[in-house]
Amino acid sequence: MAPSTDSNVKDENSQVSYKKDINTKTGRILQNKKHSNDIFDVIEYLQSEKDKEIIFATNACKRVFCQLFYRGDLYVGDLPQEEELMSGDRSAEEKYRIFMRHRYNNCVELLLENMGHEAFQVKEASLCALMKFVEAEGKHPLQNLDLIEHYIFPRELLRTLVEHLLSTEEDMSLLISRFQEFLEMDDVRYYVMSSVRDNIYRVMGRNKKAVIPVYQNNVYTLLSNINVPSQGSKIKHFLVKQAYRPEEWKAGKLKEHKRAFEQMWLLFLKFKLPSSMYKKILVILHESIMPQMSDPTLLIDFLSAAYDIGGAISLLALNGLFILIHKHNLDYPDFYKKLYSLLDPSIFHVKYRARFFHLVNIFLSSTHLPAYLVAAFVKRFARLSLTAPPTALLILLPFICNLIRRHPSCRVLIHRPSAAEEPCDDPYVMEEEDPAQCHALESSLWEIKTLQKHYHPDVAKAAMKINEPLTEQEEEISEVLELSTFELMERDLKAERKTIPLEFDTATELLKSPREVLGVHFSLE
Amino acid sequence: MMRKQQTFSRGLSDKVRKSKAAPEIQKNPFEVKINRKKFDVLGRKSKHDVGLPGVSRSRAIQKRKDTLLKEFRLKDKNNTFIDRRFGEYDSKLTPEEKILQRFTLERQRTQDRKDMYNLNEEEELTHYGQSLAEMEKMTDVIDSDSDSEEKGLLSAELTATHFGGGGGLLRKKSAGDDEEEEHKPRSRQELIEELIIKSKQEKRERQTQKEEAQELTEKLDQEWKSIQNLLAHKTPKAERTDETDKPKLDQYDMMVRELGFEMKAQPSEKLKSAEELAREERQRLQTLEADRLKRMMGDAEEDAVQTNTHISADDMNDGFILDGDDRKTLAYKDGKWNIEGEEEEKEDEDDDEEGEDDDEDDADEDHCDLQSDEGSEDEDGQGAEEEQVCAEEPPAVSEEQKKAAQEAAKAELPYTFPAPESYSDLKQLLQGHGSEQQRLILDRTLKCNHPSLSAGNKAKLQKLFGFLLEYVGDLATQNPPDLRTVSALIPQICGLCQMFPEAACKAVQTLLSDSGHSMEETLEVKGRAPMPDLDMLVLLKITALLFPSSDFRHPVTTPAFLFLSQALTRCAVVSLEDVCKGLVLCCLALEYVSLSQRIFPELLNFLLGLLHLTVSDKHNMGYTVVSPFRRQGKSCDLLVLKDPNVSHSWNRKPISLQTAHRLPAQSPVERDHYRLSLIDSCLDLVKRCTWLYKDLPSYAHIFQPIRALLLKHLPVEGYPAPIQDLHREILDAIPEKPSQHAPLVFKKKKPIPLKLFTPKIVQILDYGKKRGNTKEEKERERLKHKYKREFKGALREIRKDTRFLAREKLSDVMSRDAERKRKVKELYGSLATQEGEWKALKRKNRK
């Protein structure tokens, strides 16, 4: 069956009447097998330059092939080559089916290609069409199923789909979020998970463990969209219904889901990740990944690696580590030592400051910690507070006071009556990594004393508290954890004031005041 | 025990002895009643421990006899005097009112007199039914006290009743003692005659004296009338009209009152010498400075609370404070200084205004010079001065000159401006003028719309402040920024702010809040924000000019601090303009804290970050830079010099603020010069910081990162000599080793005093124990208690009175009965004797 020539002719007005053209042709294909060559024209439209034409053609293809699936007009089994088609002695009916199956394969290929199209609508339409095909193939399998245990699912098609979804060149996050709708289906999710695993293995293996940010970002987006249901009884949304022993189907078991989920993530995390990816993963790790895994302790390698990276990533890794230590009896040697070494001026400026302080507060809440350790933390925090912005200081100062309250033996840090009035050097060694060696217990919190002169009244007041014996009651820091500078600003803006003091030296010029600094360095011209 | 009782009894007997009763009674133990005490309270003096019931009872009876009994006896037997003067018993009227009302009543009574032409006499006075006026005709001057004698109405009877000492008694007795009476009348009559003669003589003497006095007063009156016209400017006519209104108002009274009400000359305040002015100014500034320091410590509020709670031992709790906290606070009332320095301030302002006026004059004169001699044709005719100046010049005018003059007049600013109602109005008003002219326009607008001139002006000017800030922001963001004008408008902005502190505060707060909010939003969306624009920098600068940044907490400067902090930590530095803006922010931050010496960690972080930009080799650092700077990466070597040889051609000069807005396209050398200027400023700021913070306990730790950077990493060799000097100075100022400090200890608490057995001081009330909490309540309770007691006492007295009266009545009845009995007995007796005599006679006769 040679492609018809007249269909290749594109006249000018086809642009206007492409809808009509496609509609008539699809109608003819479905009506009569004689017109089956028109399918070429429809498929041709899939490569068109106009987005609208492609979308329309995609929908048309979807309709046509679904109908064909339904009729059973597609060849089932191993597909012979198209060239062999003429030579073989097959019935016309069979030939037609083989022909149509080849066209179907062409169509699927083109649709997969179209998933990399620039226009999102095209991508979306292609994706939907492909998923429709997945569904149709599930109902009307194209393979011969001799093995009775083999559950019917178009794994191959889904695998290629996932492969295209996880592009190495293009950011597919929008399409992936569209794909999320299909991930609601339990069987789709299950098979997607396994295909993702294969895909990661293959792609990363090929790249010899180098970082591929775009690909990893796509994978991350897809993975973060996958949610395993919390209960096995909830697994009942299937794209493809299994007739034969559905209860033994892997896609119907929660355990299998969890296992697939776990394997997928572990494989993904095994490879080196870009640092921004670390942050993203760590942010959601404790909430959406760990609870869905069958054995979260397997994450220990990843977490300790992340913890060793330093900076914000380490801070974030704390959360996961905390859950492992707290819930899964993980023993982490030198945990506090590492935590201690994490503390540097940048902790006050990172986005995850609130989370970090929340965790540190929990870690140091134990009253069984040795005094030297708590003192070391307190002193280090105090030293770092010299560079902190006011919002951080409003967390830090009550936090330090709370630590001293919890550990009365640390009170010497703010009250050392034995050696009063004798000036001495600060014995604390900031550079020392080991909290046991830093002599914090012999020091005093002169830094807090310094902060009593802080420009913000609330900070200064909080720092003043060390002048007198601390009250018994601990201060609640959870409400200041998320405080932003603007909120702090609004406190003063909204406060009612009776009198407003003014500067009594009336200024005459912009750059002329009793304590001019700006005018010394800058001029108006 | 015995001894004690002895002393007790001795004390008692002393008391008894001291009382007023007769000594023999006091000594009589049967008369003494001792009130037993339940508790012996040390130091309490009791009045009623000993009593003499007999004495006091007899005294009470005696008193009743003197008063009550007399009243009782006289009951229904004598006259009473009823005072019917107006308002005599009306306690609501004050004496003055009483007098006034009586006066008006009297006037009213005389108003409707019958005799129209009788000016003097308004009332017919009578005496014994005879007109006094008629009597007057007979005797020139009448003495009211003497008229009875004058008339010779004195009769023997009358005198007898008057001088005989109780006529009633005399008459009663007359029946008994007739003989005595015959002796007495003669001597009495003589006596009376003598008396009469004497009194008549005296009367005559008095009369002559009075006549003399009258004559003198008449004379004085006449004399007064003659000079009265000289004294009073009021024409007699006016007086006459007065008279018709209030005919009886005495002129003399009016005069006196007028003189009384005349304004007394007030002592004028003496002019202050220059020294005094200077001293007062200095004092004012000192008080203001003291106040500022107090606010800086942030204990102003606490102090206020303390004064409320603390009460001195000498406090009598009457609200009187000997040396009350009368420090003047820096406050403004209705836009004016609320302190004594007000006048100086005003004078200063006036001076300024005068200066400006002078300027104006100068300008006008200049105009005149330019326009040579056309002044009289000044059609718009604004400005009297101008006209005056110009009128002097000869009016030789050509047509061309006239035209030129008209144009010039058009270019001339009007002298009055309406207050702008909206921002666009203000913009229209000011746009197209030079900076000095804009200032002048604004100045005139303010003067024309001063709040004292009209009620609505206040609101207008308050709005104007907001518009002005907006305008300033516009000026600063336009391209190129017009900062000269901004600077020229500063005095007006300051003036407005001083007039309306609340409105100014609100306006600046709104701008800060808006800007802070938008920055927060960008941060949330993008993760980093651009540096604030020049308008915000200018606003922050103006904020520092208007409001004290040294206050512990201030509704404007505290948010401004936070805005600075936010800008210094979150705004990305990606270009040289950003560096420049950052540097401006640092300058502002330093200005903000320079007086209060407060620590500003973000400032130091930012300066460290800026210096980090000069380092080309970012390895092996002994310090950490924090947000918004990164250790390494894009735009981390913004300040690295491209050409090391430019340092020779660089010289120190101020950086233009306009470069913060947009850096003009420059050659690489110029860019390097610009970098050097920035580095120079940055180092200078670091130096200022070291001065500022050198007393802090953690001084060395704060500057440790900067020191590490300056010592090891700053490519100082490539810099010109002034910068190298600066670098050395800073390194000298930061010690290598941290200074020594005493370990921290808690503040020494005031020791809580031991409980001592000091007397507990309890307020002793007049009646009963302490009740109620507040003063009013206590007073109420006291009065209630007092009332109860008084009521009881009164009841008791009344009962005693009735008992006494009943007893008296009884005794009266008894005595009357006894009398009757006696008389009956007598009668019976006499009858018996009569009978006896009669019987005896009869027996005799029978015999």
Residues 496-515 on A with a CB inside 8 Å of B are 497, 499-504, 506-511, 513, 515
Instruction: Tell me which chain B residues have a C-beta less than 8 angstroms from the C-beta of A311.
Output: none
d(C-alpha A39, C-alpha A300), whole Å: 55
d(C-alpha B34, C-alpha B50), whole Å: 5
CA atoms within a 13 Å half-sphere pointing along the CA-CB vector of B552 = 18
Report the residue from B288, B295, B654 with minimal CB separation from A521.
B654
d(C-alpha B571, C-alpha B521), whole Å: 13
At B379, is the pLDDT very low, low, confident or very high (cuts 50, 70, 90)? very low
A26: its two tokens? 């699809």
pLDDT of residue B91: 78
DSSP line for A424-491 = B-----TT-S-GGGS-GGG---HHHHHHTTBSSHHHHHHHHGGGSPPPSSPPP-TTTTT--HHHHHHH
pLDDT of residue A26: 76
Report the residue from B584, B658, B697 with minimal CB separation from A450.
B697
d(C-alpha B338, C-alpha B52), whole Å: 69
Across the interface, whether the CB atoms of B740 and A416 are under 8 A apart is answered no
Percent of chain A residues topping a pLDDT of 90:
9
Please say if the pLDDT value at position A459 is more than 80. Answer: yes
Helix H, strand E, coil C: the string for A3-15 is CCCHHHCCCCCHH
Find where tokens 């996880």 sit.
A166
Helices (H) and strands (E) in chain B, counts: 31, 7
B796: its two tokens? 């008791």
Longest dimension (CA), chain A: 110
pLDDT of residue B257: 80
pLDDT of residue B160: 53
At B115, is the pLDDT very low, low, confident or very high (cuts 50, 70, 90)? low
Nearest 5°: the CA angle B529, B532, B538 is 170
Instruction: Tell me which chain B residues have a C-beta less than 8 angstroms from the C-beta of A415.
Output: 744-746
d(C-alpha B208, C-alpha B201), whole Å: 11
B820: its two tokens? 């009757």
State which amino acid sits at residue B263.
M
At B208, is the pLDDT very low, low, confident or very high (cuts 50, 70, 90)? very high
Give yes or no for a contact between A512 and A519, defined as CB atoms under 8 angstroms apart.
yes
d(C-alpha B783, C-alpha A289), whole Å: 81
At B518, is the pLDDT very low, low, confident or very high (cuts 50, 70, 90)? very high
Across the interface, whether the CB atoms of B330 and A502 are under 8 A apart is answered yes
Query: In 3-state terms, what secondary structure has residue A496?
Result: coil
Residues 407-466 on A with a CB inside 8 Å of B are 413-417, 419-426, 444-447, 449-451, 453-457, 460, 466
Percent of chain A residues topping a pLDDT of 70:
87
At B340, is the pLDDT very low, low, confident or very high (cuts 50, 70, 90)? very low
* Listed residue (A332, A326, A333, A281) closest to A306, CA to CA: A281
d(C-alpha A327, C-alpha A159), whole Å: 36
Please say if the pLDDT value at position A440 is more than 70. Answer: yes
How far off is chain A from B396, nearest CA to CA, in Å? Answer: 43
Query: In 3-state terms, what secondary structure has residue B379?
Result: coil
At A420, is the pLDDT very low, low, confident or very high (cuts 50, 70, 90)? low
- Give A187 or A369, the one with higher predicted confidence: A369
What values do phi and psi take at B806, rounded to 5? -60, -40
- Cα-Cα-Cα-Cα dihedral sign, residues B739, B745, B749, B754: negative
Give the dihedral of Cα atoms A346, A350, A354, A360; nearest 10 deg. -40
d(C-alpha A316, C-alpha A305), whole Å: 12
- Share the mean pLDDT of chain A: 79
Burial of B631 (0-12, 13-18, 19+ CB in 10 A): middle
Contact with chain B for residue A488, Cβ under 8 A:
yes
Give yes or no for a contact between A124 and A175, defined as CB atoms under 8 angstroms apart.
yes
Report how many Cβ contacts below 8 Å link chain A to chain B.
256
Please say if the pLDDT value at position B376 is more than 50. Answer: no
- Share the mean pLDDT of chain B: 75
d(C-alpha B54, C-alpha A441), whole Å: 89
Longest dimension (CA), chain B: 190
* Partners of residue B127 on adjacent β-strands: B130
d(C-alpha A94, C-alpha A96), whole Å: 5
d(C-alpha A223, C-alpha A192), whole Å: 10
At B821, is the pLDDT very low, low, confident or very high (cuts 50, 70, 90)? very high
The model carries a pTM of 0.62
Give the dihedral of Cα atoms A237, A243, A248, A249; nearest 10 deg. -50
Report the residue from A455, A469, A501 with minimal CB separation from B600.
A455
Q: Which of A297-311, B129-143, B289-303, B368-382 has the lowest mean pLDDT?
A: B368-382
Cα separation values, A298 from A303, A316, A328, Å: 9, 18, 11
* Complex ipTM more than 0.90, yes or no: no
Contact with chain B for residue A289, Cβ under 8 A:
no
Instruction: Tell me which chain B residues have a C-beta less than 8 angstroms from the C-beta of A439.
Output: none
* A379-392 pLDDT tens trace: 999 999 999 999 99
Instruction: Tell me which chain A residues have a C-beta less than 8 angstroms from the C-beta of B287.
Output: none
Across the interface, whether the CB atoms of B561 and A456 are under 8 A apart is answered yes
At A523, is the pLDDT very low, low, confident or very high (cuts 50, 70, 90)? confident
Find where tokens 């199923």 sit.
A145
Please say if the pLDDT value at position A1 is more than 60. Answer: no
Contact with chain B for residue A469, Cβ under 8 A:
yes
* B718-752 pLDDT tens trace: 888 889 999 999 999 888 888 888 888 888 878 88
pLDDT of residue B682: 92
Across the interface, whether the CB atoms of A524 and B487 are under 8 A apart is answered yes
* A366-375 pLDDT tens trace: 888 899 999 9
d(C-alpha B568, C-alpha B590), whole Å: 12
Relative orientation angle of helices B156-163 and B178-231, to the nearest 10 degrees: 90
pLDDT of residue A349: 84
At B457, is the pLDDT very low, low, confident or very high (cuts 50, 70, 90)? confident
- Give A82 or B241, the one with higher predicted confidence: A82
* Listed residue (A522, A518, A455) closest to B595, CA to CA: A455
End-to-end CA gap in chain A: 84
pLDDT of residue B819: 94
Report the residue from B491, B546, B688 with minimal CB separation from A517.
B688
- Give B72 or A243, the one with higher predicted confidence: B72
At B281, is the pLDDT very low, low, confident or very high (cuts 50, 70, 90)? confident
* B77-86 pLDDT tens trace: 877 777 777 7
A256: its two tokens? 């299998």
Contact with chain A for residue B603, Cβ under 8 A:
no
* Partners of residue A454 on adjacent β-strands: B599
* Partners of residue B337 on adjacent β-strands: B332
Which residues, including other chains, have CB under 8 Å from residue B585's CB and lie 6 or more apart? Answer: B531, B532, B537, B540, B564, B567, B568, B606
Across the interface, whether the CB atoms of B565 and A501 are under 8 A apart is answered no
- Give B505 or A275, the one with higher predicted confidence: B505
CB count in 10 Å sphere of residue B343: 13
Please say if the pLDDT value at position B806 is more than 90. Answer: yes
Instruction: Tell me which chain B residues have a C-beta less than 8 angstroms from the C-beta of A424.
Output: 740-743
* B12-48 pLDDT tens trace: 545 545 555 567 777 788 888 888 888 887 777 777 7
CB count in 10 Å sphere of residue B283: 13
pLDDT of residue B771: 64
Give yes or no for a contact between B626 and B578, defined as CB atoms under 8 angstroms apart.
no
Please say if the pLDDT value at position B835 is more than 90. Answer: no
- Mean pLDDT calculated for residue range B325-337: 44
State which amino acid sits at residue B403.
K
